[in-house]
């Protein structure tokens, strides 16, 4: 036995450090232990966990241990539901009994919108085999007799919610891993990392250990460990508190434990702890720690807490006492105020360490107890198989790019904490951390009335306020007040010409002998000819969609690869990690130095002719080609393409030239009734054209064929990543397919909104698939939803409908998936 207790051998490493291992996991909280367990379970037994102190000594030991299934994100619901099912059997699996009370939980709704959110999540859960049930106030009181329900709209029941002992969970996972051959060494901090001969060498006070792969699972110390790899992890430690009351006779008298109670509108959880109650609020005005030099993170904070700060919780305590008066009858015996790590969006980092080869992250967990199981599974899939079973973009560390500074991370973390239970309404962004990246055109657009949105940190106009309008989105899934303004922008683009700044495209110049052959082996289809542009897709080995890029072929072996603002680091890694070591191909990141205007609409050709003095008709300047041109003395690369589906050009120029370019376009455009339009209008128009959006309707949950991208797959090519899987799928036949639907208007007096991401598609009333993109098409006057549905159910026929927030709306299939100008004649004038 290589384990000794802390008391027996204070702060001495527990076991001899091996010279090498296949994987080293840094950090022995619930998450690190789960990563180790799942790697070992997958058959990788030469794996070592190094823990600075004792297992659980970070945030894990003091966690409340609540384990809900309910969550609004598909990826996180997968993670949490896997965890809860694993935890129910883990004790038996590894022979380590533990306290896991599956009590069920009630979630309270104070409003129609909250109930709609519950219904949406309930439908999502159903697709995953997880059961949630709507509850009336009377039903809630039946299972929770101490609850005041007079002012509630309703509630929801999470059958399999409960609480687990986090320390026992961690020990069980560590035991299971050890039993399978993994090694756990406590009191062995990692103090440095270096790359040697394609391996990682980690330093510890016990000496060095070499490894092929490394995982940063160091909880709130993620940034400290990240720095060893040259990585700035967006991790902010916030102080989260719960209080525990003394025993309450009414609870002591019960045979069963009370279910958990969550009041998301008031923002707290309340559960039974022994014979007392445990109350944990997510309060406004929370406190961040260790964020600057005046408050440095102590070298060791193991098993420690912050001082109590109950004043901040007063409102929440009073509110909870009014909801469950029994709570007010008992005194407080214990307050736990501990570090809870927050990423800017409150979701953990699980996956590739950005830009760092063979290094991974499983850190910054806000709900690390309930997520540990699923996170370990997910990361072990990524490490061992190179890809996860389901899309994991929601937790991919590369979703945060270079705009995420420490100040940004802090502002967003605090905002997210105070909105922990808030509803996320489509197209509404919270205000913290804005203006992270602006172009020189920002002020001009602001003066023109732009209401901005953040796209990979870049500020882009979402829509333009008309005279007297204010940008005050409603807390609602119903149509927002900008609906008419966005509609007017779309119609203007369709009749005249519009201009939109699209700065923030990620761009990589790929160049050098062999570039064409190398790219050909990566993309699923063909590459454009010299002088032309084309959409290219990258699939995983399993044929799932990794990304979509626009390739502009500048020369025989020279390409400008353009991709979305949010895909910046993801796509950079995708290209760079696949480049053979001895290659003479170079990949240059030219993202920050370039800007883009989209000029589009039926008057765009005339405007462009005037601006450039060149012929711009389709015969002279065909669709999907580019030219270098001069506009008002500014060098631009004009690409004839338009995501809006009208005649149009993307004008790419140096960042410094974007303002004079815009001014020149605007001045000449006045005669053509040029107008600004925004991203919301662009999204509406691309839906009408059937154009796709990365990480909405293009995700690695689906293969190329399932996503309806078969015409970008060339199975006749010699080889490309994913070919074998796609060939097998092609032969066997796809089991689900992509469809575009239009939705009937809701009934009179019913709230009117579009389908929400991941709404359920029904065929003859049976769940058949999920909505992956939705919005209103103003040019065609229809509510549109793109979805992936079961092919057999689709082939069998039947009435199609979409469940939008609990209301079933009849839907019609769109033939060919394109609602607007299906033969592209408008783009080719």
Instruction: From 20-28, 440-448, 556-564, 803-811, give the range in contact with ligand FAD by CB under 6 A.
Output: 20-28
51 binds ligand FAD (CB under 6 A): yes
Q: Does 268 bind ligand FAD (CB under 6 A)?
A: no
Opening angle at CA 598, ends 596 and 602, nearest 5: 160
Closest distance to ligand FAD from the beta carbon of 64 (Å): 3
Single residue of 76, 135, 340, 644 touching ligand FAD by CB under 6 A? 340
Quick check: 805 binds ligand FAD (CB under 6 A)? no
Cβ neighbors of 298 (< 8 A, separation 6 or more) are: 304
For residue 215, the minimal CB distance to ligand FAD (Å) is: 11
DSSP code, position 310: G
27 sits near ligand FAD (criterion: CB under 6 A): yes
Verify binding: residue 369, ligand FAD, rule CB under 6 A: yes
**Do 93 and 40 contact (CB within 8 A), yes or no?**
no
57 touches ligand FAD (CB under 6 A): yes
Work out whether 31 is an interface residue with ligand FAD (CB under 6 A): yes
Query: Minimum Å distance from CB 569 to ligand FAD?
Result: 22
Choose the binding region for ligand FAD from 361-369, 469-477, 549-557, 633-641 (rule: CB under 6 A): 361-369
Q: Which stretch binds ligand FAD (CB under 6 A): 137-145, 248-256, 360-368, 631-639?
A: 360-368
Tell me the chain's radius of gyration from C-alpha atoms: 28
Structure tokens given for 586: 């170079």
Q: How far is the CB of 224 from ligand FAD (least distance, A)?
A: 6
The verdict on 168 binding ligand FAD (CB under 6 A) reads no
User: How far lies 669's CA from each of 11, 601, 664, 754, in Å?
Assistant: 73, 11, 8, 34
- The only residue of 14, 66, 113, 223 in contact with ligand FAD, by rule CB under 6 A: 66
| Smallest distance, ligand FAD to C-beta of residue 288, A | 13
Among 13, 58, 226, 645, binds ligand FAD (CB under 6 A): 58
Least distance from ligand FAD to the Cβ atom of residue 93, Å: 20
The answer to whether 553 and 531 have CB atoms below 8 angstroms apart is yes
Contact between residue 106 and residue 159 where contact means Cβ atoms under 8 Å apart: no
Residue 459 forms beta bridges with which residues?
454
Q: Does 103 bind ligand FAD (CB under 6 A)?
A: no
Contact with ligand FAD (CB under 6 A): which of 245, 366, 454, 612? 366
**C-beta of 218: minimal distance to ligand FAD in Å?**
4
**Shortest spacing between CB 328 and ligand FAD, in angstroms:** 22
Q: Which stretch binds ligand FAD (CB under 6 A): 27-35, 427-435, 457-465, 484-492?
A: 27-35
Which residues, other chains included, contact 718 with Cβ-Cβ below 8 Å and sequence gap of 6+?
none
Long-range contacts for 779-783 (Cβ within 8 Å, ≥24 apart)?
A: 779/490, 779/491, 779/494, 779/684, 779/685, 779/688, 779/820, 780/688, 780/819, 780/820, 782/742, 782/743, 782/819, 783/742, 783/743, 783/745, 783/754, 783/755, 783/809
Q: Which two tokens stand for residue 362?
A: 């499983």
Cβ proximity to ligand FAD: between 56 and 637 the closer is: 56
Residues 717-736 binding ligand FAD (CB under 6 A) are: none
- What is the 3-state secondary structure of 624-693? CEEEEEEECCEEEEEEECCCCCCCEEEEEEEHHHHHHHHHHHHHHHHHHCEEECCHHHHHHHHHHHCCCC
Q: Residue 32 interacts with ligand FAD (CB under 6 A)? A: yes
Describe the strand order of the beta sheet including 506-511 as a list of residue ranges.
533-539, 545-555, 558-563, 506-511, 586-589
For residue 151, give every residue at least 6 positions away whose Cβ sits within 8 Å of its Cβ, in sequence order, or none.
110
Could you tell me the smallest distance in angstroms from the CB atom of residue 166 to ligand FAD?
6
Tell me if 385 sits within 8 A of 38, measured CB to CB.
Answer: no
From the list 21, 26, 184, 270, which residue makes contact with ligand FAD (rule: CB under 6 A)? 26
Instruction: Tell me the CA distances in angstroms from 427 to 505, 642, 774, one per residue in order.
Output: 20, 22, 11
Element housing 443 (H / E): helix 442-447
Alpha carbon separation from 316 to 65, 165, 271, 284 (Å, rounded): 20, 25, 14, 10
Stretch that binds ligand FAD, among 149-157, 213-221, 554-562, 646-654 (CB under 6 A): 213-221
> C-beta of 292: minimal distance to ligand FAD in Å?
20
Closest CA to 666 of 436, 438, 447: 447
Based on CB atoms, which residue is closest to ligand FAD, 366 or 563? 366
48, 124, 172, 190: which one binds ligand FAD (CB under 6 A):
190
Among 63-71, 711-719, 726-734, 808-816, the segment contacting ligand FAD (CB under 6 A): 63-71
Q: Determine contact, residues 53/209, Cβ cutoff 8 Å.
A: no
**Residues with Cβ within 8 Å of residue 603, at least 6 apart in sequence:** 496, 497, 672, 673, 674
H or E stretch covering 554: strand 545-555
Among 63, 130, 211, 647, binds ligand FAD (CB under 6 A): 63
Q: What gap in Å lies between CA 547 and CA 707, rounded to an integer?
A: 12
Which residues partner with 244 through β-bridges?
A: 278, 334
Residues near ligand FAD (CB under 6 A), total: 42
CA dist 33 and 481 (Å) reads 48
Binding test (CB under 6 A) with ligand FAD, winner from 70, 200, 365, 694:
365
Residue 198: count other Cβ atoms within 10 Å of its Cβ: 9
Site string for ligand FAD, 300-319 (x = CB under 6 A): --x-----------------
DSSP letter for 297, please. P
Indicate whether 278 belongs to the interface with ligand FAD (CB under 6 A): no
Query: Structure tokens of 622?
Result: 């065909």
Q: Kindly state whether residue 162 participates in binding ligand FAD, applying the rule CB under 6 A.
A: no
Contacts of 622 (CB under 8 A, 6+ apart): 640, 828
Name the strand (E) or helix (H) holding 207: strand 207-216
| Residue 189 binds ligand FAD (CB under 6 A) | yes
Dig out the tokens for 411 from the structure. Answer: 């502002």
Q: Which is nearer to ligand FAD, 239 or 441 (CB)?
A: 239
243 binds ligand FAD (CB under 6 A): no
Which one of the spans 16-24, 90-98, 127-135, 358-366 is the region binding ligand FAD (CB under 6 A)?
358-366
Grouping H, G, I as helix, E, B as strand and the rest as coil, residue 712 is: helix
Question: Between residues 289 and 434, which has the closer beta carbon with respect to ligand FAD?
Answer: 289
DSSP 544: B
281 binds ligand FAD (CB under 6 A): no
CB of 407 to ligand FAD, least distance (A): 23
DSSP codes of every residue in 775-788: EEETTTTEEEEEEE
Q: Which of 74, 220, 455, 738 binds ligand FAD (CB under 6 A)?
A: 220
Question: Minimal distance in Å, beta carbon 195 to ligand FAD?
Answer: 18
Q: Spell out where 219-285 has E strands.
A: 236-245, 260-263, 268-273, 276-281
Query: Can residue 267 be called a binding residue for ligand FAD (CB under 6 A)?
Result: no
Q: Is 29 in the site for ligand FAD (CB under 6 A)?
A: yes
- Check residue 338 for interaction with ligand FAD (CB under 6 A): yes
Which residue, 34 or 540, has its beta carbon nearer to ligand FAD? Answer: 34
Residue 119 in contact with ligand FAD, rule: CB under 6 A = no
- Judge contact between 602 and 803, C-beta under 8 A: no
Of 21, 30, 173, 739, which lies in the binding site for ligand FAD, with binding defined by CB under 6 A? 30
The structure tokens 């208007």 sit at 745
**Minimum CB separation from ligand FAD for residue 34, in Å?**
8
Which residues contribute to the site for ligand FAD (CB under 6 A)?
26-32, 50-53, 57-60, 62-66, 189-190, 217-221, 225, 240, 242, 302, 336, 338-340, 363, 365-370
């Amino acid at each position: 036995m290589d384990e000794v207790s802390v008391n027996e051998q204070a702060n001495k490493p527990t076991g001899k450090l091996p010279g090498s291992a296949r994987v080293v996991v840094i950090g022995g909280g619930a998450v690190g232990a789960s990563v180790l367990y799942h790697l070992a379970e997958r058959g990788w037994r030469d794996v070592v966990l190094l823990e600075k102190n004792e297992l659980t000594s970070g945030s894990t030991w003091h966690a409340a241990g609540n384990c809900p299934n309910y969550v609004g994100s598909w990826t996180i619901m997968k993670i949490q539901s896997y965890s809860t099912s694993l935890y129910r059997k883990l004790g038996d699996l590894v022979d380590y009994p533990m306290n896991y009370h599956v009590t069920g939980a009630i979630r309270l709704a104070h409003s129609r919108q909250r109930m709609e959110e519950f219904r949406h999540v309930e439908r999502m859960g159903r697709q995953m085999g997880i059961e949630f049930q709507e509850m009336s106030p009377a039903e809630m009181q039946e299972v929770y007799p101490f609850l005041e329900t007079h002012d509630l709209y309703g509630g929801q029941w999470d059958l399999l919610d409960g609480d687990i002992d986090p320390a026992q969970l961690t020990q069980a996972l560590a035991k299971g891993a050890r039993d399978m051959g993994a090694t756990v060494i406590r009191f062995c901090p990692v103090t440095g990392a270096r790359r040697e001969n394609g391996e990682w060498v980690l330093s510890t006070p016990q000496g060095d250990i070499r490894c092929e792969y490394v995982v940063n699972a160091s909880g709130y110390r993620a940034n400290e460990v990240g720095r060893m790899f040259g990585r700035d992890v967006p991790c902010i430690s916030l102080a989260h508190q719960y209080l525990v009351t003394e025993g309450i006779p009414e609870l002591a008298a019960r045979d069963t434990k009370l279910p958990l109670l969550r009041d998301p509108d008031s923002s707290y959880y309340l559960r039974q702890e022994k014979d007392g109650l445990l109350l944990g609020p997510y309060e406004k005005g929370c406190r961040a720690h260790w964020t600057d030099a005046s408050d440095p993170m102590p070298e060791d904070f193991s098993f420690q807490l912050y001082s109590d700060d109950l004043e901040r919780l007063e409102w929440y305590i009073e509110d909870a006492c009014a909801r469950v008066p029994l709570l007010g009858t008992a005194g407080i015996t214990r307050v736990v105020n501990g570090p809870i790590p927050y990423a800017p969006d409150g979701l953990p980092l699980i996956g590739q360490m950005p830009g760092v080869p063979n290094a991974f992250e499983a850190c910054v967990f806000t709900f690390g107890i309930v997520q540990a199981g699923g996170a370990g599974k997910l990361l072990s899939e990524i490490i061992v198989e190179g890809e996860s079973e389901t899309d994991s973009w929601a937790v991919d560390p590369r979703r945060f790019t270079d705009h995420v500074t420490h100040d940004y991370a802090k502002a967003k973390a605090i905002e997210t904490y105070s909105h922990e239970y808030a509803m996320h309404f489509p197209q509404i962004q919270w205000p913290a951390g804005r203006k992270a990246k602006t172009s020189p055109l920002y002020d001009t657009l602001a003066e023109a009335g732009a209401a901005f949105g953040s796209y990979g940190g870049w500020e882009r106009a979402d829509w333009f306020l008309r005279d007297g309008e204010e940008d005050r989105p409603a807390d609602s899934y119903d149509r927002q007040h900008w609906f008419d303004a966005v509609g007017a922008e779309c119609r203007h683009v369709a009749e005249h010409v519009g201009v939109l700044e699209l700065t923030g495209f990620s761009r990589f110049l790929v160049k050098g002998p062999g570039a064409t052959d190398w790219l050909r082996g990566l993309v699923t289809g063909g590459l454009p000819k010299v002088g032309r542009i084309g959409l290219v897709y990258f699939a995983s080995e399993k044929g799932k969609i990794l990304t979509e890029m626009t390739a502009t072929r500048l020369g025989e072996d020279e390409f400008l690869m353009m991709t979305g603002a949010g895909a910046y680091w993801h796509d950079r890694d995708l290209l760079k990690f696949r480049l053979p070591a001895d290659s003479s191909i170079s990949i240059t990141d030219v993202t920050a130095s370039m800007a883009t205007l989209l000029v589009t609409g039926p008057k765009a050709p005339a405007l462009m002719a005037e601006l450039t003095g060149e012929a711009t008709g389709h015969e002279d300047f065909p669709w999907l080609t580019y030219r270098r041109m001069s506009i008002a003395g500014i060098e631009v690369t004009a690409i004839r393409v338009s995501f809006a589906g009208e005649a149009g050009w993307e004008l790419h120029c140096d960042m410094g030239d974007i303002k004079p370019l815009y001014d020149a376009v605007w001045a000449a455009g006045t005669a053509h009734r040029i107008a600004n339009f925004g991203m919301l209008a662009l999204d509406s128009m691309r839906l009408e054209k059937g154009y796709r959006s990365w990480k909405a309707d293009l995700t690695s949950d689906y293969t190329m064929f399932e996503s309806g991208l078969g015409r970008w797959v060339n199975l006749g090519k010699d080889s490309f990543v994913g070919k074998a899987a796609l060939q097998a799928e092609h032969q066997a036949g796809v089991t689900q397919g992509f469809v575009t639907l239009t939705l009937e208007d809701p009934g009179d007096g019913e709230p009117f909104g579009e389908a929400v991401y991941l709404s359920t598609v029904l065929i003859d009333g049976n769940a058949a698939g999920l909505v992956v993109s939705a919005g209103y098409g103003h040019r065609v006057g229809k509510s549109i939803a793109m979805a992936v549905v079961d092919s057999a159910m689709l082939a069998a026929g039947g009435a199609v409908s979409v469940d939008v927030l609990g209301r079933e709306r009849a839907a019609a299939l769109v033939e060919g998936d394109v609602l607007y100008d299906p033969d592209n004649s408008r783009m080719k004038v």
